[in-house]
Chains A and B, each alone.
Chain A
Amino acid sequence: MSETWTIKCLINEKPVEREVSVRLTLADFLRHEVGLTGTHLGCEHGVCGACTVLLDGRSARSCLTLAVQVDGMNVTTVEGLGDKTRLSPLQQAFMDEHGLQCGFCTPGMLTTLTELLANNPDPSESEVRLAISGNICRCTGYENIVKATMTAVRYIRDGMPESSEVVD
């Protein structure tokens, strides 16, 4: 129970070396030991998708992954996608299309869709819907998330708008 293990990984491009309890989940490690609280826990049984992070670019449930499993891996969380002064095209598109309400599922949506757009830069709406079919949102009804993803495709292809006006 108290056994620990030392792991080395990259988290959002920064090297991290920590001794962790072997039963610690990746989500709890990121949130409570590394202090990256952007990754959220909605169900802790792998269905809601809020805790999705990227491991070597591939989406994974951090609630079902143990911290020790990411030894040697490259972990990307929502904090690694952009920051408030420099939103990623996807983050900017979520803002512009009102793709979030309470924001709790949003980090998982963003990581999942970041993976989708890396693999498929021109998805159809139904491909977007399928990609996020493992991410539950209770607020938005998904429509604006899909719309935001299509807008992000445009931003990535044609460039982001110069200035983001307060008023649409």
Chain B
Amino acid sequence: MPSSWIGMKVKRVEDPALLTGEGQYIDDISRPGMLHAVAVRSPYAHARILGIDKSAALELPGVVAVVTHDDLPEQMKGQSIPMMVPHPVITADKRPQILCRDEVCFVGDLVAMVLAEDRYVAEDAVALVDVDYEELDCASWVKDAAEAGAPSAHADLATNIAANIDLEYGEIDHAFATASHVITEEIFQHRGSAHSMETRGCISEYDDATGQTRIWVTSQSPHQFKGAFADMMDLVDQDVHVIVPPDVGGGFGPKAVMWPEQFVIPACALIAGRPVKWIEDRREHFMCAYQERDQHWSGELALDAQGKILGLRARLIHDTGAYVPWGVVVPWITCTTVPGPYVIPAYEMRCEVVFTNKVPVTPVRGAGRPQAATFMERMLDIGADRVGIGRDEIRRRNFVQPEQMPYEVGLVFRDGKPVVYDSGDYPQCQAMVLEQANFAEFGQRQRQARSEGRYIGIGTASYIEATGLGPFEGVSVHVQRNGKVIVHTGAAPQGQGHQTMLAQVVADSLGCSFKDITVKVSDTTTIQRGVGTFASRITPNAAPSAHLASNTVREKILKIAAHLLETSVEDLEVEDSRVSVKGVPEHGKTFRDIATFAGAMPGFAVPAGLDAVLEDTVYFAPERATYANGAHCVEVEVDAETGHVSIIKYSTAHDCGTIINPLSVNAQVMGGVAHGIGNALFEWMRYDDHAQPVTMNFGEYLLPTAPEVPNVDQSHMQSPTPLNPLGAKGAGEGGTIPAIAAIVSAIESALEPFGVCIRTVPVTPDALLDLIDAGRQNAGRPDV
């Protein structure tokens, strides 16, 4: 047994089932008499519903019902999904309707559910539901939609402005008045969809015997949903039982936020009096699973003669799609993440959050942070070139220094608390990654490559990541009568390995055998409260809960052991689910002995001062978010004839505080980098001028595959946060955040002979060829 489980490369307890086809995902669950639901969705970006004729669909053998708005239970009629993260800046609060009644606001908006005995029949019947639409003008492109007089995304709104986010601190006018250099740039960023390999799904049944509505759902936040559903239906919590299947095939954001389908399916089960299953298909996932999308940036960076930042002004137009189901979390995070790891004495951000008739925008891995980092890092790259110093050097000259920690930026984060960087050494992280990448000798490599007619380039980017947001996450630890340990949490995993990570913490703090621990996740009847798996928040929230609950249970165990062994607690030690007298290992009691004693005989009294139940539940609530950080460095080769970008070497330095399982942290970084590569080079959810989605499959929307993704050379610092007892920070998104910026910078470096400046991401081969051609023309050297 290791001396501490914290920091050990523990193989995952989740894996054996997943490797042998024994995992249990939502579509693997079947209930007796279950019906299959398939959605009828709007084919228009914006239209009025004039009528719905179900008759032809209902005539099809096997079709049981077509559920439309008017069929919904009274409590759901006219309702939208609840606003979980309201904010005073939201001036037009439009959320997805449970089922659309009069108006549809994007292609994919939910109009009806067909229920049938068989999925194939339900699919057939969808085509037979005749919805009479009157098409309305639509808001397709966000920049146009932001203009006064633009077609409105919602018939009852005069403008498409959902919110204005105005943030500022410092003497911004003074900064620009005294600047030696002012960098002015316009940058467009598109960020794509989440695309977990498992789509979304929901199964529900109404239990006549208990009066309970049971809902299985691929949710990243089951307890939040339970509360929302109970509130909508005017039920008490106990009437709603939400279960996340033991296995969920990836999340990356959209499964954290609530969607109409998870409300409609329980309604369908109630209406049909039978269990109902809905499994989203990939086409639907493209069409209506929440995405991130377009941001138009314009920025001005004020630098002194040495390249020190004096101030930054930015304007941002953010496409929020048709609704704000998760408030303005994405643009808010973007606006507060721009300063990143740098000292920016004065900052002014003006952001318009704008409705369009497209899929609602909610967090995708990174949640607006990658765009903030890309903007800031672009400005620094261009600034460095203007000042005439290295792109690495301008960052060094502007980093927040370790001795400035805790560093208060001057902004309020999305958790309502000030942005305070609690710990970390940003210059050191950069130094580490540049060392790994052999940045110092890149010039030689580049000269050599150019002499061979090859264009290679290097880019680096640094970032911070707010992780571990509150309010809390709970863990209960229970030593059962047989001495085995059962751990419950509401922290629904989607592949991160929560079970293994929490078992490590419990083994460490409780002193039990690792193999005696079973971690059960995401069943709202097993733990009262939970928040959800998003914002890289589980390790910094749930692990401290597991630690604190285990400590309490351990104290209970020690007290009973001291009683049984007729000694004092101070003389005892715990190892491998056994308590023994220090120095006399044979004189001891197993957890099983202790639990059996504590369980006691019916009617007997528990000795004074002892606890009969070896259980504790803790909901650790952090004071505020804790900040992880890191730096990436990437070397690329660009084919100037095809615009193809190959990644030659990818290096990362990452600091998420105390690492509990290095296997998991490494894997989170790798996966995050791959997602960032997709965002930098491939992933573009395209629409036409009528807001019709035109990339609707994996042939049209490209995800990175194995040949495009390199191995990642990783190093780690560990700067523990003072904000939780384990010092752990989140690690789920750091791999993604700086990847776009680093890759874009590297491409520019490779194409330096052509004077290429990249202002649009993703960077597609055709766009790159245009830039190369323009560079050739400008240089008057079409032959370069």
User: Is B124 close to A, CB under 8 A?
Assistant: yes
Which A residues touch B711, using CB under 8 A? 143, 146
Which A residues touch B198, using CB under 8 A? 40, 42, 102, 104
- Evaluate contact between A43 and B250: CB separation under 8 angstroms: no
Per the bound structure, the CA–CA distance linking A81 and B707 in Å amounts to 26
Which B residues touch A78, using CB under 8 A? 19-21
- Evaluate contact between A167 and B8: CB separation under 8 angstroms: yes
Which A residues touch B709, using CB under 8 A? 141-143
Residue of A nearest to B666 (CB): A98
A141-B15 contact in complex given A82-B20, A98-B667, A102-B495, C-beta closer than 8 Å: no
Write the nearest CB–CB distance from A31 to chain B, whole angstroms: 7
- Evaluate contact between A43 and B697: CB separation under 8 angstroms: yes
Residue of B nearest to A100 (CB): B18
- Evaluate contact between B124 and A1: CB separation under 8 angstroms: yes
Residue of A nearest to B5 (CB): A167
- Evaluate contact between A37 and B28: CB separation under 8 angstroms: yes
Per the bound structure, the CA–CA distance linking A82 and B22 in Å amounts to 11
Per the bound structure, the CA–CA distance linking A129 and B197 in Å amounts to 19
Per the bound structure, the CA–CA distance linking A84 and B664 in Å amounts to 22
Kindly identify which residue among B20, B282, B495 contacts A101, using a CB–CB cutoff of 8 Å.
Answer: B495
A42-B282 contact in complex given A139-B250, A139-B495, A168-B11, C-beta closer than 8 Å: yes
Which B residues touch A43, using CB under 8 A? 282, 697-698
Which A residues touch B497, using CB under 8 A? 101
Per the bound structure, the CA–CA distance linking A44 and B697 in Å amounts to 10
- Evaluate contact between A47 and B11: CB separation under 8 angstroms: no
Kindly identify which residue among B9, B124, B249, B706 contacts A167, using a CB–CB cutoff of 8 Å.
Answer: B9
A95-B671 contact in complex given A38-B23, A44-B282, A143-B709, C-beta closer than 8 Å: no
Kindly identify which residue among A31, A98, A134, A136 contacts B197, using a CB–CB cutoff of 8 Å.
Answer: A136
Q: Which of A3-11, A54-62, A64-72, A105-113 contacts B (4 or more CB under 8 A)?
A: A105-113
CB contact list, A81-101 vs B, under 8 A: 81-84, 87, 91, 94-96, 98, 100-101
CB contact list, A117-149 vs B, under 8 A: 126, 128-130, 132-146
Per the bound structure, the CA–CA distance linking A91 and B17 in Å amounts to 11
Per the bound structure, the CA–CA distance linking A60 and B129 in Å amounts to 35
A145-B706 contact in complex given A96-B11, A136-B698, C-beta closer than 8 Å: yes
Write the nearest CB–CB distance from B676 to chain A, whole angstroms: 10
Per the bound structure, the CA–CA distance linking A48 and B675 in Å amounts to 16
- Evaluate contact between A48 and B698: CB separation under 8 angstroms: yes
Contact-residue size bin, chain B (C-beta under 8 Å from the other chain) = 35 or more
Which B residues touch A50, using CB under 8 A? 197
User: Is B88 close to A, CB under 8 A?
Assistant: no
Could you mark each residue 488-525 of chain B with 1 if its beta carbon is under 8 Å from any beta carbon of chain A, else 0?
00000011110000000000000000110000000000
Which A residues touch B28, using CB under 8 A? 31, 37
Which A residues touch B247, using CB under 8 A? 102-104
Interface centre among B20, B252, B283 (most CB of A within 10 A): B20
CB contact list, A14-70 vs B, under 8 A: 21, 23-24, 28, 31-32, 36-45, 47-48, 50
Per the bound structure, the CA–CA distance linking A96 and B9 in Å amounts to 10
Write the nearest CB–CB distance from B276 to chain A, whole angstroms: 16
User: Is A114 close to B, CB under 8 A?
Assistant: no
Write the nearest CB–CB distance from B482 to chain A, whole angstroms: 20
- Evaluate contact between A42 and B21: CB separation under 8 angstroms: no
- Evaluate contact between B248 and A102: CB separation under 8 angstroms: yes
Write the nearest CB–CB distance from A78 to chain B, whole angstroms: 4
- Evaluate contact between B706 and A129: CB separation under 8 angstroms: yes
- Evaluate contact between A36 and B252: CB separation under 8 angstroms: no
Kindly identify which residue among B11, B22, B706 contacts A142, using a CB–CB cutoff of 8 Å.
Answer: B706
Which B residues touch A96, using CB under 8 A? 11
Write the nearest CB–CB distance from B285 to chain A, whole angstroms: 9
Which B residues touch A40, using CB under 8 A? 25, 197-198, 249
Kindly identify which residue among A39, A133, A143, A144 contacts B21, using a CB–CB cutoff of 8 Å.
Answer: A39
Per the bound structure, the CA–CA distance linking A55 and B250 in Å amounts to 28
- Evaluate contact between B494 and A102: CB separation under 8 angstroms: yes
User: Is A163 close to B, CB under 8 A?
Assistant: no
Per the bound structure, the CA–CA distance linking A82 and B8 in Å amounts to 28
Which A residues touch B8, using CB under 8 A? 167
CB contact list, B648-679 vs A, under 8 A: 663-664, 666-667, 670-675
Could you mark each residue 1-45 of chain B with 1 if its beta carbon is under 8 Å from any beta carbon of chain A, else 0?
010000011111011111111111101101000000000000000
Which B residues touch A134, using CB under 8 A? 705
CB contact list, B188-226 vs A, under 8 A: 195-199
Write the nearest CB–CB distance from A1 to chain B, whole angstroms: 7
Kindly identify which residue among A24, A82, A103, A136 contacts B14, using a CB–CB cutoff of 8 Å.
Answer: A103
Which A residues touch B698, using CB under 8 A? 43, 45, 47-48, 136
A132-B706 contact in complex given A104-B197, A143-B711, C-beta closer than 8 Å: yes
Residue of A nearest to B667 (CB): A98
Per the bound structure, the CA–CA distance linking A138 and B496 in Å amounts to 12
- Evaluate contact between A100 and B15: CB separation under 8 angstroms: yes
Which B residues touch A146, using CB under 8 A? 706, 711
Could you mark each residue 277-293 of chain B with 1 if its beta carbon is under 8 Å from any beta carbon of chain A, else 0?
00001110000000000
Write the nearest CB–CB distance from B284 to chain A, whole angstroms: 11
Write the nearest CB–CB distance from B698 to chain A, whole angstroms: 4
- Evaluate contact between B21 and A138: CB separation under 8 angstroms: no
- Evaluate contact between B19 and A138: CB separation under 8 angstroms: no
Kindly identify which residue among A133, A144, A168 contacts B9, using a CB–CB cutoff of 8 Å.
Answer: A168
Q: Give 10 closest A-B pairs by Cβ, nearest first.
A: A38-B21, A102-B495, A104-B249, A103-B18, A141-B674, A141-B670, A101-B495, A47-B698, A168-B9, A37-B28
Further 20 A-B residue pairs, CB within 8 A, beyond A137-B197, A139-B197, A168-B9: A28-B119, A38-B22, A40-B249, A44-B282, A45-B699, A47-B699, A48-B698, A78-B20, A79-B22, A95-B15, A102-B494, A103-B14, A107-B21, A110-B19, A126-B707, A136-B197, A138-B197, A139-B495, A143-B711, A164-B11
* Cross-chain pairs A/B with CB under 8 angstroms, 5 sampled: A45-B698, A103-B14, A104-B198, A141-B709, A143-B670
**Interface residues of A, Cβ cutoff 8 Å to B:** 1, 21, 23-24, 28, 31-32, 36-45, 47-48, 50, 77-79, 81-84, 87, 91, 94-96, 98, 100-107, 110, 126, 128-130, 132-146, 164-168
